[in-house]
A = this chain, B = another copy of it.
Amino acid sequence: METELKEMLSDLDNLQQSLSDPSYQASLAKMRSHVENLTSLVNSGQGRRSKVKDMSAEVVDSNPYSRLMALQRMGIVDNYERIRDFSVAIVGIGGVGSVAAEMLTRCGIGRLLLYDYDKVELANMNRLFFRPEQCGMTKTDAAVQTLSDINPDVVLESYTLNITTVQGFETFMASLTNKTHSLSKDGTGVDLVLSCVDNYEARMVVNQACNELNQTWMESGVSEDAVSGHIQLLIPGETACFACAPPLVVASGVDERTLKREGVCAASLPTTMGVVAGLLVQNTLKYLLKFGQVSPYLGYNALKDYFPTMQMKPNPQCSNAACLERQEEYNLTKPARDAAAKAKMDAEALIVTESAMHLDNEWNICVVDDEEQDKKDAHTHDVLPEGLVHELPSADEFQKPTAQEESFNSADDLEELKRQLEALNAD
């Protein structure tokens, strides 16, 4: 459109120079103003907003972050604006990944890395996000187009590649470890990887990359009949990796690719995929901004509105070498973690006593219900003396298993793992 409009302006220039009659000049000036109006409409990106320097909590209609910053005033999140420091990689920009990307973009995430090799088709229109006019574009290009219009504050990196190829895997690894945007020196260049792919092979590749890089990630999936799904948190060495408990179809030696027959496609629904994307990004926000409890595994059975949960410990016989390395590292740091957990519990006991004494409470009656205790657990770094926080950084992490949980012997673990494996594949 821009090209057509530029050419018309130059045509008008030529005509205006060659036609001296004032009656023509008026007509040409009118046309020029039409072309200029159209140009400004097109260039405005149809109303694209400019970037915002700081997230404001001001309650005005023009503030895109007012309802998010309100999470602080409501006591849910300590520092919402921290979200701008985080980088999240989303692998697979389909029915779940695209919606997850839109949610994170609207939440004002700092940086999104998007990976997909596929193109948008009309057959994708039964799920949210992509629009019919984007058919034929790569999913990554279409996503960048839409997301940058929605929130120009988010840094978007798009990788149009297949991570299951050698070349694709190399670029994938290099992009995850690029620390240009990273504030901390530890870890990779991203804070979380979200797997939103639709096949076992690609999941195993994400698993391999995250095990090698010691990168925490979340897995998501939707069944072929479109009426169930799940999300799962994977922390290398600490939780089961994707190879620790493979799906039954793979465990029994069937190649998934031979299961897909020509002309047969999986069913899908925008509802199931929207729910799974919502649960995935909600847990991403809880993980990054440290509020609530991050679910280790959460299933969604749409027919019965049933949401199974479970925890999966790593398999000491896992076939993935990098997983075994991470398990060993995790076990080596166990005494330090136990000590930190104990110190944290002691410190909390102290706070409960102290705060009870400082309450504006004539009779010194103090009721601490479960929910309040949970909140205290999540926000301990608010109340702890400053020095204590810096001495116990790892105790501030979420979902540490208790010493008792870890004292299972490995035979029990395998029995448990088998049961969980069956449960995982049942839905």
Residues of chain A having any CB pair with chain B under 8 Å? 1, 4-5, 7-8, 11-12, 14-15, 18-19, 23-24, 27-28, 30-31, 34-35, 37-38, 41, 45-49, 59-68, 70-71, 73-76, 99, 102-103, 106-108, 121-123, 125-128, 131-135, 149-151, 224-227, 263-272, 274-275, 277-279, 281-283, 285-286, 291-293, 295, 298, 302-305, 307, 309, 374
Number of this chain's copies in the assembly equals 2
Contact B275 A282 (CB under 8 A): yes
Contact B285 A293 (CB under 8 A): no
Given A15-B27, A279-B305, the answer on whether A270 and B103 have CB atoms closer than 8 Å is: yes
Contact A123 B63 (CB under 8 A): yes
Give Cα A277 to B60, complex, Å.
26
Contact A11 B31 (CB under 8 A): yes
Given A1-B41, A4-B37, A66-B265, the answer on whether A61 and B271 have CB atoms closer than 8 Å is: no
Contact B123 A61 (CB under 8 A): yes
Give Cα A28 to B122, complex, Å.
38
Give Cα A322 to B281, complex, Å.
42
Partner of A267, one of B35, B68, B285, B305: B68
Minimum CB–CB distance from A118 to chain B (whole Å) comes to: 10
Contact A27 B14 (CB under 8 A): yes
Given A74-B224, A128-B102, A266-B67, the answer on whether A4 and B38 have CB atoms closer than 8 Å is: yes
Contact A70 B4 (CB under 8 A): no
Beta-carbon nearest neighbor of A8 in chain B: B34
Give Cα A27 to B11, complex, Å.
7
Given A4-B38, A15-B27, A102-B128, the answer on whether A70 and B305 have CB atoms closer than 8 Å is: no
Beta-carbon nearest neighbor of A231 in chain B: B305
Give Cα A224 to B227, complex, Å.
30
Contact B267 A71 (CB under 8 A): yes
Minimum CB–CB distance from A55 to chain B (whole Å) comes to: 11
Give Cα A1 to B39, complex, Å.
10
A103 contacts across to B, CB distance below 8 A: 128, 270-271, 274
Give Cα A81 to B28, complex, Å.
55
Given A19-B24, A267-B67, A271-B285, the answer on whether A38 and B1 have CB atoms closer than 8 Å is: yes
Partner of A275, one of B61, B102, B106, B275: B275
A19 contacts across to B, CB distance below 8 A: 19, 24
Give Cα A283 to B304, complex, Å.
10
A309 contacts across to B, CB distance below 8 A: 305
